[in-house]
Amino acid sequence: MSRQTTLKGNPFHLQGNALAAGSAAPGFTLVANDLSSVSLADTGGVRIINAVPSLDTPVCDLQMKRFNEEAAGLDGVSVYCVSCDLPFAQKRWCAESNAENVTALSDYKDGNFGAAWGTMIKELKIESRAVFVVNAHNTVVHAEYVPEVADHPDYDAALSAARGAL
């Protein structure tokens, strides 16, 4: 079945299957700001994983700043941001935004995260907006695919799921 999202009302197709609470977290290989590879196995504990189109857009910027602030008070929870932005752009955004509690990771090479997690917008080759919470056993305990990419996610639901997974 074809899945869709909208961007400013325009429909686009999503690649991959949707994850739901109870799903096993799919593997991925992403690129960190220092150009090293990061896989699911390199992460651990409770994780909030945000997929966003680009850190250089207003909603993505606000979303990651909000999770950066919230993460300061969430001991034992790691926050990740996945986009297709180049690692250099992610590094610049993190420095300019004082994002010390968020790890930005890039899916620019082959889109394997987007395909495995069901977030890649096929026509644009960018991530849609989604938030996942993964527990220490690599089980998805919260999954939200934001239907309209220009809208904010449900921050409170994701944060509540993360606290509940501790």
Q: Which residues does the annotation mark as catalytic?
A: 60
Evaluate whether 49 touches 114 at the Cβ level (below 8 Å). Answer: no
Q: What is the distance between the alpha carbons of residues 62 and 95, in angstroms, rounded to a whole number?
A: 15
Query: How many CB atoms lie under 10 A from the CB of residue 96?
Result: 10
What is the β-pairing status of strands 29-31 and 37-39?
antiparallel
Strand partners for 2: none
Per DSSP, 125 falls in state T
Q: Report the C-alpha dihedral over residues 125, 83, 144, 42, rounded to 10 degrees.
A: 120
